[in-house]
Chain A
Amino acid sequence: MAEKGFNAFKMAQEQFDKVADQLDLEEPVRKLLREPMREYHFLIPIRMDDGRYRVFKGFRIQHNDARGPCKGGIRFHPQETADTVRALSMWMTWKCAVADIPLGGSKGGVICDPHDLSEREQEALCRGWVRQIARDIGPVRDVPAPDVMTNSQHMLWMMDEYQAIYGEQFPGVITGKPVELGGSLGRTEATGYGLVFMLRELLKEMEIDITNTTASIEGFGNVARYAAELFIEYGGTVVSVSCWDQKDGCAYSYYREKGINVNELMKITDRFGTIDKKKAEQLDYTCRPGKDWLTHKADILMPNALENSITGENADDVNSSVKLIICGANGPITPKADEILEKKGIVVIPDFLANAGGVVCSYFEQVQSNQNYYWSKEEVLGKLDNKMTDAFHKVWELSKRKKVNIRDAAYMIAISRVADACKLRGWI
């Protein structure tokens, strides 16, 4: 969770400002890109199961759509703030731009805790959200997707409500749908696989044989699992993963020097993502405090869980064996930590580049849905691989040419593309 006093939007703006200076962007461009273009704040009244009414706050923030319809997830979270969502919508714009997909950035959600809501109440909330924002979203305007504590069922209710309002089929209005109802094959794996496709290319450039590398992963959710699976398939060894223990109320890392087995661990993980400590120890895993994921001896670190995982306080604890960090989570490394890691000579692939696989696959789902024609899994993953590879190589080439770090190079490409789109449209 966010540190106290931490403002994600401020951080996002600072990152933008730095790159805007490097690009020597004109003032109007900076002003346009520094803030979201549109924000919708609304109220959703819901009749609860016990007959009472509750009013929920919902919103949708559209940062920029110069390159195409907005794209971004919908979160259900009790502590969501407008600033966090603004930051996330901005990062979505950069993410889509660096991946070179023709979409802008947005984000939204509802301030609520779905654990406290029944299924019927959640459905009502989803439909209520769509009723409030239907005029301002759509297949050619703004396409939502699942995010924190939302899932494919929520997306289907929202899609259904949108279609009920407009009286037509719009499978492309939303992504993250189940495969049976317009979802894309390969979507589940996309973020994790996309991460590893990029890692593969980076290792080639660094002339490191992937079969001789080890990785320590923070997290064991969707992104972490698929990233671990593909990394192992390529011949690498994952020595540690971590997870939140619901019972103990803290995080643990599970370490095994000869390498973890994803399927084995999944069999002992519950639906909340907690790995069974005892069973893990029986399988020769060593259970350590969650923060130890950072200090294990490994070549690669993959923060695939939360934001602010590597900060100014713990960046020095990163094991000296680590050569590179690739970020599957959003915002896992603070700017201060970035500086420390750069001084240590550790190569960092930033989140909005590394985890772009998810949004790329969402884009593929959108395209398939709009055509009402669905691709095979190998077509999706083949295209994903090529897209991630191209994105990486463009960033890498710029980073070498301009002698900047990868994060800056990625931002430079992303912001330039959006700025150029705004200019070409005649906005500025």
Chain B
Amino acid sequence: MNINDKEKKIISTIEEITGIKIDHQDSFNITNKDENKKSILIILDEKYKEIAIVKNLKDFENILFSLDNKIILDYSKKCKFSKWLKEIEKTDLADKFVLIEQEFDDGEQIRKKMIDTMEEHRYVLNHNAVTSFQRTRRRNHIQLSHIGSGYFGGKARGIAFLVDILSKYATEDMFPGLRITIPRSIVLSTDVFDSFIKHNDLSNLDFTHLSDERIASKFMDGSMPATVVGDLRSFIKNTRKPLIVRSSSLLEDSLLQPFAGIYASMLLSNESWETELRFKEVCNSIKYVFASTYFEKARTYIKSKQKNIDDEKMAVLLQEVVGNKHDAYFYPTISGVAKSYNYYPSGPCKPEDGIAYLALGLGKAIVDGGSSYCFCPKRPKAPLFGTPKDFMKYSQNIFYALKLASMYTIANKNEDTTLEKLDIDIAKKHGVLDNVASTYFYRDDRIYPGLYDDGDLVVDFSPIIIDEVIPLAKALQLLLRVGELTLGYPVEIEFAIKFSKDKSEPAELVILQIRSMIPPDKYKDVNIVNVDISKVICYSENALGNGIITGIKDIVYIKSELFHMSNSTRAVNQIRKINTKLMDAGKTYILIGPGRWGSADSWLGIPVIWSDIAGVKVIVETPYSERPIDPSQGSHFFHDMISSQVGYIVTKKDRGNIDWKWLDNLKVIEETKDVKHVIISSEIEIHIDGKHGKAVIKEKD
């Protein structure tokens, strides 16, 4: 889709969802200024006939879609694109195009790469969206500013992108009773990281032989660069809300590299009346996030992406935490994650309708794959669960809040010291359940709207979903669709909702993060209809991913007959060691085991983190209990899995099976207490039909 078509589609989407007519000027117009430049690029065909005149970036992006591969290749090899970009003083773009022109020898590949680069350039911060941090003038409408002059990294770019979208299309009256915004944020750009490393003599440190704690200690001993301390201190002096210090690295959350959850984040209560103490805590947190660039988890992950640690540069995002103060706690009424593509659609909902998860309190409940409420933004009232009793069983009964009185910030135990798990009865005392809960009456086996003293509290968000006290579903739908259209890929959004204590004020839907989900390759159809199911190793009707995976000989699996979930944590170490050996040998493998892989709750599944299994190519989840919860929807783990294009196959007793006998007869490479590593003499093939959610694992013919 070229730019004009895309813009039209965005406008019509907004009009369709909101019912409001948009009067748009040139949106996404990055090029009008370029018209004044004298340089034009004339495109000629093989017979030297003029086929296009390129005057600006907009024209350029359009012709990239339509030019013949041969012409693209010819012009690339003559560096005509990069030269023209230099002439119109788009030096950054020109430098990137030079690399593309040199690296690729296929016209189609070059085209795709150039289009991606142009997309990124347009996705990259709009300088109107991110202003330089100012101390002397209070500019309350400025939500996103920067300190430093380098790159902003993936998360910050995502926020800047949101600011751009919101400023272009969001109006006050678009969603009555709901204002869409971002949290007040400051980005410390990558040059601050570079300066920190340089001035504290950290560039020659051999991180591979140091533990994470030692690395953190060396970083914490350093001093923040003199170029930023003044601005930082000034910001802290004027900010009394809780803060979150997050990584925003170059490789993180870019279009193709998710890196979610790899680096550290630090939550700070920021409650002390002493500016110096708060300033010190923020500086230490920033240093800890810098240090996490070199932690083992990050190094392993980067290695698995065939990237170099030196490619990575860290910007840091300081954001105000969204929420309200309730006694000694701070939390938003609702946290949520919404995805524009749902890999587990149910009922009348299609994958393209997306899915959203809501939780009371801070978003840890969702990120770690705990209890949360899910619904389809396009069809919010379509039930996704069985009986009220079923829903009751799995609805949220605890929530996370930030402790304002936390005395210490211990960097590597940040969540333990700053977060507290609270019972929802406490939320009732705080008066925040009016818009999020109903009451279940056992005698009727029914859930009634409203809060009653007898009966059980049920966090079902029905005032929002059913009664639409705020038009959340529509707002999420809009954001997901526009995000997806703009990026060209399905997107995932993290958000929080805050209700004002003043009922006349609109609620705020605060978008915390937006990133792309790498979709199943929609252009490759995989057909397993003709595969003889009786002769396969594994068959599933619940699979994630798409494509045919070959070249695998190794299988690592949990010895399920003797395994008990109380040993799941023990199993992690054993798996990690085998993973490391296989990664060192350059081999990928299939991982098979019971329960929810990557779960934070060790009773629900094996609590691995991504770096423990970074070499895996396909994960097979076998039944352990009958609990029907979305497997591994813990956001970071799930996200990494999708973006690493790892196949995910769920087998259930009634809808799939696995040939354990065949597995047990394979040659054993290594066997530990809970885990077996076996190898097949031939090769394994995995076929995943993403469209129908089916998969088979079989020996290669």
Cβ of B167 < 8 Å from any Cβ of A?
no
Would A376 and B233 count as touching, CB distance under 8 A? no
Q: Which residues of B contact A193 (CB under 8 A)?
A: 226
A79 adjacent to chain B (CB < 8 Å):
no
Residues of B within 8 A of A393 (CB): 136
Number of interface residues of A (CB under 8 A): 22
A313 within 8 A of B: no
What 0/1 pattern do residues 612 to 644 of B give for CB contact below 8 A with A?
Answer: 000000000000000000000000000000000
In the complex, A92→B195 CA distance in Å? 34
Contacts of B229 in A (CB 8 A): 378, 381-382, 385
User: In whole angstroms, how far apart are the Cα atoms of A393 and B195 in the complex?
Assistant: 27
B280 engages A379 (CB within 8 Å): yes
Specify which chain B residues have a CB less than 8 angstroms from the CB of A18 in the assembled complex.
none
Name the one of A197, A234, A382, A384 contacting B279, with C-beta atoms under 8 angstroms: A382
Q: Mark A375-405, 1 if CB is under 8 A from B, else 0.
A: 1111101111110010001000000000000
Q: Does A230 contact B (CB under 8 A)?
A: yes
Across the interface, which residues of A come within 8 angstroms of B211, CB to CB?
none
> A376, A381, A386, A389: which contacts B226 (Cβ < 8 A)?
A381
Given contacts A230-B226, A385-B230, contact A235 B135 (CB under 8 A): no
Task: Kindly name the residue among B195, B230, B231, B280 whose own CB sees the greatest number of chain A CB atoms within 10 A.
Answer: B230
Q: Does A248 make an interface contact (CB < 8 A)?
A: no
Q: How far is the CB of B272 from chain A (nearest CB, A)?
A: 14
The residue on B at minimum CB distance from A192 is: B226
**Which A residues touch B223, using CB under 8 A?**
185, 376-378, 381
- Give the chain A neighbours of B573 by CB distance below 8 A: none
A189 close to chain B: CB less than 8 A? yes
Chain B residues whose CB sits within 8 angstroms of the CB of A230 once the complex forms: 226-227
Minimal Cβ-Cβ distance residue in B for A189:
B226
Whole-angstrom CA separation of A27 from B325 in the bound complex: 58
Query: Complex Cα distance A234/B147, Å?
Result: 12
Majority DSSP secondary structure for residues of A touching B: helix
CB of B572 within 8 A of chain A? no
Residue A118 at the B interface, CB < 8 A? no
A234 to B149, CA, bound (A): 9
Q: Verify A386–B276 contact, CB threshold 8 A.
A: no
Give Cα A177–Cα B229 distance, bound, in whole angstroms: 24
Interface membership of B395, Cβ < 8 A: no
Question: Closest CB-CB distance, A102 to chain B, in whole Å?
Answer: 18
B663 at the interface (CB under 8 A from A): no
Whether, in the assembled complex, B283 has its beta carbon less than 8 Å from a beta carbon of chain A, the answer is: yes
The docked-state distance in angstroms from the alpha carbon of A235 to that of B194 is 14
A266 to chain B, nearest CB (A): 15
- Among B260-294, those with CB < 8 Å from A are 276, 279-280, 283
Q: How far is the CA of A185 from the CA of B223 in the complex (A)?
A: 10
- Kindly list chain A residues whose C-beta atoms are within 8 Å of the C-beta of B225: 233
Q: Are the C-beta atoms of A376 and B280 separated by less than 8 Å? A: yes
- CB of B437 within 8 Å of the partner chain: no
Q: Is the interface of B mostly helix, strand, loop or mixed?
A: helix
B609 adjacent to chain A (CB < 8 Å): no
Task: Say yes or no: is B234 at the interface (Cβ < 8 Å to chain A).
Answer: yes
**Interface pair A382/B227, CB less than 8 Å apart:** no
- A372 at the B interface (CB under 8 A): no
Question: Which residues in chain B, 153-211, are within 8 Å of chain A measured between CB atoms?
Answer: 195
Is B536 part of the contact surface with A, judged by Cβ < 8 Å? Answer: no
State the CA gap A234–B226 with chains docked (Å): 10
B232 interfacial contact with A, CB 8 Å: yes
CB distance from B316 to the nearest CB of A (A): 14
B280 and A383 contact, CB distance less than 8 A? no
Measured in the bound complex, the distance between the Cα atoms of B229 and A383 in whole Å is 8
Say if the beta carbon of B224 comes within 8 Å of chain A. Answer: yes
> Within 8 Å CB of B226, what residues of A?
189, 193, 230, 233, 381, 385
Q: What is the distance, in angstroms, from B515's C-beta to the closest C-beta of chain A?
A: 31
How far is B226's CA from A342's CA once the two chains are assembled, in angstroms? 32
A211 adjacent to chain B (CB < 8 Å): yes
- Closest-CB distance, A208 to chain B (whole angstroms): 14
Q: Chain B, 213-231, contact with A by CB distance < 8 Å: what is the 0/1 string?
A: 0000000000111110111
Please, how many angstroms separate the alpha-carbon atoms of A197 and B223 in the complex?
A: 18
Minimum CB distance partner of B234 in chain A: A386
Q: Mark A19-39, 1 if CB is under 8 A from B, else 0.
A: 000000000000000000000
- For residue A384, which residue of chain B has the nearest CB? B230
Provide the residues of chain B in CB contact with A377, threshold 8 Å. 223
Q: Are B149 and A382 in contact (CB-based, < 8 A)? A: no
Decide if A386 touches B195 in the complex (CB within 8 Å).
no
Specify which chain B residues have a CB less than 8 angstroms from the CB of A235 in the assembled complex.
Answer: 149
8 A Cβ contacts from A178-211 to B: 185, 189, 193, 197, 211
Q: Which of A193, A197, A233 has the most CB of B within 10 A?
A: A233
Q: Min CB distance, B603 to chain A, in Å?
A: 43
In the bound complex, residues from chain B placing their C-beta under 8 Å from that of A189 are 226
With contact pairs A233-B195, A378-B283, A379-B280 given, residues A386 and B233 touching in the complex (Cβ less than 8 Å): yes
State whether A197 touches B280 (Cβ < 8 A).
Answer: no
Task: With CB as the reference atom, state the residue of chain B lying closest to A375.
Answer: B276
A383 CA to B224 CA, complexed, in Å: 13
Contact (Cβ within 8 A) A385 B195: no
A381 to B283, CA, bound (A): 13
Q: What string of 1s and 0s marks CB contacts (under 8 Å) between B21-48 and chain A?
A: 0000000000000000000000000000
Residues of A within 8 A of B231 (CB): 385
Residues of B bordering A, CB below 8 Å: 135-136, 149, 195, 223-227, 229-234, 237, 276, 279-280, 283
Beyond A378-B223, A381-B223, A386-B230, 19 additional pairs, beta carbon < 8 A: A197-B230, A211-B149, A230-B227, A233-B226, A234-B227, A376-B280, A376-B283, A378-B229, A379-B279, A382-B232, A382-B233, A385-B226, A385-B229, A385-B230, A385-B231, A385-B233, A386-B233, A389-B136, A389-B230
Which A residues are closer than 8 A to B by beta carbons? 185, 189, 193, 197, 211, 230, 233-235, 375-379, 381-386, 389, 393
> 19 A-B residue contacts at CB 8 Å?
A185-B223, A189-B226, A197-B230, A233-B195, A233-B225, A233-B226, A235-B149, A376-B283, A377-B223, A378-B229, A379-B276, A379-B280, A381-B226, A382-B229, A382-B232, A385-B230, A385-B233, A389-B230, A393-B136
List 8 A-B pairs, minimum CB-CB distance, nearest first.
A385-B230, A382-B233, A382-B229, A377-B223, A378-B224, A381-B229, A378-B229, A378-B223
